[in-house]
Chain A
């Protein structure tokens, strides 16, 4: 399996002394749809900045399709396209000129550039706007323009930094479809996002980053399986014996106080079975609340674990 991007022990300390990345390592396979998830300030954009050479790293290494970005600047840069978090095209230029100029930077001959430009502006619903100054586009259109721009040289790896921030639901869905289509046609995609739903919808693998560290790096499926478990908070009328032990494989228990405990029940086990065990040992349940809320909950717990 080819590795599209491999990041080893990447650290970045900004000029003001702030340690934005504290040694992260990541690998993304070719063809993957990979999510980099993390709260504000986690270091997502810094990571992308290092890959795209806008940020000078402090230490570590980055390889794109097996080639080091420091020593094979030219080849590696041809291989990826970046959609940044913030608008970074000239506000005074026309939509088509922006994409055509980008094509020129990647050495596309004019005719091919014009074809690709039309293809991607159409796909992203911007063809009608081609002769307008980019300044006059809406926020969502600006984002799509940056996607078209990143694709014009048809890179093997597409990196998107929060592509759907500030995009309405309908448009977000069509963007998802578009990205899935691009991914299905073989392009490796890495995206950062705050929207957990987005990662869940799109991505096969995921890394969670917080305060410059990777706190989780797994497949989306495994993560979702973990989420399958439910945590219930049970209040009891009778006292909970401190040495209470649930004789169930798929459930675990944490006693909070004499009348309250948390029970984690994994997929497949019914709540009734749990209750049956409680009544066997003579504990009466007074009330029950569901604690977990899937991905959000897990996300938070991973981040707490990082403190």
Chain B
């Protein structure tokens, strides 16, 4: 029919996703900005001054990259999980399922929609951080690449969560019980150099730890992890999650009876 059908369909999904979180900005953009802003004030500014240095930097400088990353992770995830589940809940997902849009386009559309929100909040948080710390980005390429890849990983994870979710509880369980602990223990607030060997080892099993540290490396030029290894892990996660999503979509898990 139309040669660029797939592109038009993709664009349609992305625009609809962006319009959705734009329409409800009071729920999607403002709360994360406020939360992270409070972290800046309380941990960075008030408590941070007493902490002194962390990983060779002032505490404020140390946590800014971590907090930016935290906002990207949480918002990429939560945009996809709530949007996709809401389409499931309202049955409007059927519009897509009945249409000739291929699964990989459906998936990519939602992923890019989630990234858009993750990056929008990430940008807001970055701008806010300028009031608290002077950051000079050491390696722009690494900084941007790791944010994009991380955003993809968590958008994909949110998609899987939404596929399996049957109730609104199901879309808050994983963020609360899995995502948040992993983020908090992922080196956002401290350097693993502070930890005893055993916990240092455990931190190494947490993928978020690599993402946060690589991002911190891009901005500050220092990291607790091997950067190449971190990128490798990110890519492996993306491949595994993307493939799983496609398989689940093909099977119709949670979508077709």
Interface, chain A (partner B; CB < 8 A): 14-15, 49, 52-56, 73-75, 77-78, 82, 84, 86-93, 97, 101-102, 104-109, 149
Interface contact B8-A14, CB-CB below 8 Å: no
Query: Which interface class (under 10, 10 to 19, 20 to 34, 35 or more) fits B?
Result: 20 to 34
A-B contact count (CB 8 A): 85
Q: A84 and B94 in contact (CB under 8 A), knowing A101-B16, A104-B11, A108-B2?
A: yes
B18: which A residues are within 8 A, CB to CB? none
Nearest chain A CB to B108 CB, angstrom units: 14
Partner of B91, one of A74, A86, A92: A86
Sample (6) of A-B pairs whose CB atoms are under 8 Å apart: A77-B100, A87-B91, A93-B16, A101-B16, A106-B99, A107-B100
Partner of B8, one of A15, A55, A77, A107: A107
CB-based nearest A residue for B7: A107
Partner of A107, one of B6, B95, B97: B6
CB-based nearest B residue for A104: B12
Interface contact B257-A15, CB-CB below 8 Å: yes
Partner of A90, one of B6, B9, B92: B92
Interface contact B2-A90, CB-CB below 8 Å: no
Partner of A88, one of B8, B12, B91: B91
Q: A90 and B87 in contact (CB under 8 A), knowing A82-B98, A101-B95, A106-B5?
A: yes
CB-based nearest B residue for A112: B2
CB-based nearest A residue for B8: A107
Partner of A74, one of B90, B96, B100: B100
Interface, chain B (partner A; CB < 8 A): 1-2, 4-6, 8-9, 11-13, 15-16, 19-20, 23, 86-87, 90-92, 94-102, 252, 256-257
Interface contact B9-A54, CB-CB below 8 Å: no
Interface contact A88-B95, CB-CB below 8 Å: yes
A49: which B residues are within 8 A, CB to CB? 257
B6: which A residues are within 8 A, CB to CB? 107
Nearest chain B CB to A260 CB, angstrom units: 50
Interface secondary structure of B, over-half rule: helix
- The list of the 9 closest CB pairs from A to B, nearest first, reads A104-B12, A107-B5, A88-B91, A77-B100, A105-B99, A107-B2, A90-B92, A52-B98, A88-B94
Interface contact A78-B256, CB-CB below 8 Å: no
Partner of B97, one of A54, A89, A97, A149: A54
Interface contact B1-A54, CB-CB below 8 Å: no
A82: which B residues are within 8 A, CB to CB? 98
Interface contact A54-B257, CB-CB below 8 Å: yes
Taken together as a complex, chains A and B put the C-alpha atoms of A232 and B6 apart, in Å, by 63
Interface contact B90-A91, CB-CB below 8 Å: yes
Taken together as a complex, chains A and B put the C-alpha atoms of A106 and B98 apart, in Å, by 10
Taken together as a complex, chains A and B put the C-alpha atoms of A77 and B5 apart, in Å, by 13
Interface contact A14-B257, CB-CB below 8 Å: yes
A15: which B residues are within 8 A, CB to CB? 257
Interface contact B1-A107, CB-CB below 8 Å: yes
B23: which A residues are within 8 A, CB to CB? 92
Interface contact B92-A107, CB-CB below 8 Å: no
Interface contact A107-B9, CB-CB below 8 Å: yes
Nearest chain A CB to B121 CB, angstrom units: 21
Interface contact A54-B98, CB-CB below 8 Å: yes
Max chain B CB contacts within 10 Å: which of A56, A91, A92, A107? A107
CB-based nearest A residue for B4: A107
Partner of A55, one of B4, B9, B92, B257: B257
A102: which B residues are within 8 A, CB to CB? 95, 99
A90: which B residues are within 8 A, CB to CB? 86-87, 90, 92
Max chain A CB contacts within 10 Å: which of B5, B16, B95? B95
Nearest chain A CB to B90 CB, angstrom units: 5
Taken together as a complex, chains A and B put the C-alpha atoms of A108 and B9 apart, in Å, by 9
B100: which A residues are within 8 A, CB to CB? 73-75, 77-78, 105-107
Nearest chain A CB to B166 CB, angstrom units: 13
A75: which B residues are within 8 A, CB to CB? 100
A104: which B residues are within 8 A, CB to CB? 8-9, 11-13, 15
CB-based nearest B residue for A149: B95
Taken together as a complex, chains A and B put the C-alpha atoms of A101 and B2 apart, in Å, by 16
Interface contact B90-A77, CB-CB below 8 Å: no
Q: Known pairs A93-B16, A97-B16, A107-B9. 17 more at Cβ < 8 A?
A: A15-B257, A49-B257, A52-B98, A53-B97, A53-B256, A74-B102, A88-B95, A89-B95, A91-B90, A102-B95, A104-B9, A104-B11, A105-B9, A105-B95, A105-B96, A105-B99, A107-B1
CB-based nearest B residue for A90: B92
B87: which A residues are within 8 A, CB to CB? 90
CB-based nearest A residue for B255: A54
Nearest chain B CB to A79 CB, angstrom units: 9
Taken together as a complex, chains A and B put the C-alpha atoms of A54 and B94 apart, in Å, by 7
Max chain A CB contacts within 10 Å: which of B16, B91, B96, B100? B100
Interface contact B256-A89, CB-CB below 8 Å: no
A87: which B residues are within 8 A, CB to CB? 91
CB-based nearest B residue for A79: B100
Taken together as a complex, chains A and B put the C-alpha atoms of A163 and B16 apart, in Å, by 27
